[in-house]
Amino acid sequence: MDLAQFQALVVEASNQQAILVDFCADWCSACHTLSPHLERVINELDGAIRLARVEIDGGENMKLAALYRLRAFPTVILFQGGQEYGRFSGARSTHQVRDWVLARLGSGEEHRRQGV
């Protein structure tokens, strides 16, 4: 994914729907540990948020890692409204990821109204 694609597919698209971006590497064991937890949370939230993965070792993705000043992998960044809305690095459990995402997406009442 080049910078223009990332801008269109993630940053601009986050104006319509929140997008969680998993910056990962194939050689990273913590990345492999975190991946199923991210997928579970995305499935639980049933369309409220999308997941995008960026393999930092592919193509121009190192430029994205530099642009977002990533210092550790995995790093997960939430984009909403066309901007970064929060980030964390390292492996986390499903409930930790869920709690982190929900705290940034808004109140529980908003999620109930949206069916989340």
Which position has the token pair 């997406």? 105
Position 18: which residue type?
Answer: A
Q: Assess contact for 38 and 101: CB atoms under 8 A.
A: no
Instruction: Report cis status (omega within 30 of 0) of the bond before 36.
Output: no
As given in the structure block, the two tokens for residue 26 are 């194939």
- Catalytic residue set: 28, 31
